[in-house]
Structure 1
Amino acid sequence: MLTIDDPATVAELTEMADRYETALMANDVETLDALFRNAPETIRYGVGEVLYGFAEIAAFRQGRVGGSPQRRVLRRVVTSFGPDLGTVNLEFQREGGTRIGRQSQTWVRTDAGWKITCAHVSLMADIS
């Protein structure tokens, strides 16, 4: 039977999500790249880009001047599915912005540790 939300696994994923958020806000490209699974199947759909494979994701980060806009996390849900798979979903708001953003990540435990294998970032329509 599949164990959902094992506390130890959720704690590990939460730690990884915190590490990702810290690296994102600091534009720590080396750490961000290390958190993504280095594979052609890794996908990242961004607000303005569609990236297939680790190489495209890494190239995007290298070319992104100034990094991600600063943001505040409004809500986060971390869910584990067994000991080796989980999701991190959150809502955020960019500093000075009114739009709500959404981010979802699928994490998988590999021989090299937890890695993001699929990510999606989007912004909701401005409702102000």
Structure 2
Amino acid sequence: MEIDRTDVVAEVTAAFVGYEQALVDGDADRICGFFWDSDRTVRFGIADHQYGLDAQRKWRAAQPPLPPGRWLVDTVVTAFGPDLAVVTTRFGYAATATGRQTQTWVRLPAGWRIVTAHVSEPAPG
């Protein structure tokens, strides 16, 4: 298996940047468009979880916008062959601790889509 094919890393990086922009813009429809349209899509948030894209659509529609000043650090895109990649990053806002975000991206007929995502914040301490 070829790890970190340059073309795959570039494609997934571009998709991830698009996802992040939709997140910062607060565009729930665009955000959900980056996810696999399946009842098997899973997203674990900081204090929430969704099983299936329909559940995520409902959750996103009810969420307030992100706080201003979102930043990312230590973003890593690792590709496994031509059709699978994992993106990990840490994020934060001006007044909050750094959170963690992991996404598994798969090349599907519709393009690169997130099939599972996990967002967390470390416990204060």
Q: How would you bin the TM-score normalised by the shorter chain?
A: over 0.9
The unaligned stretches of length 5 or more in structure 1 are none
RMSD between superposed Cα atoms in Å: 1.0
The answer for the alignment partner of 1:112 in structure 2 is: 110
Q: Which runs of 5+ in 2 are unaligned?
A: none
Hey, what does 2:66 align to over in structure 1?
68
Q: TM-score, normalised by structure 2?
A: 0.94
How many residue pairs match? The answer is 124
For 1:29, the equivalent position in structure 2 comes to 28
Q: CA separation in 1, counterparts of 2:57 and 2:110?
A: 18
String of CA shifts for 1:23-73, please: whole Å, max 9, x gaps: 1001011211110101011000000101111111111101112x2334210
Q: Deviations over 1:71-99 (max 9, x none)?
A: 210210001111111011001112222x1
Q: TM-score, normalised by structure 1?
A: 0.92
Query: In 2, distance between residues paired with 1:51 and 1:68?
Result: 18
Alignment of 1:1-128 (within 5 A): 2-65=1-64, 67-70=65-68, 71-97=70-96, 99-127=97-125
Distance 1:116 1:69 in 2: 23
Give the partner amino acid of 2:59.
Answer: F
Moved over 4 A (4+): none
CA deviation vs aligned residue, 1:3-26 (integer Å, no higher than 9, x gap): 110000000010011001111001
Q: Provide the rounded CA distance (Å) in 2 between the counterparts of 1:64 and 1:95.
A: 20
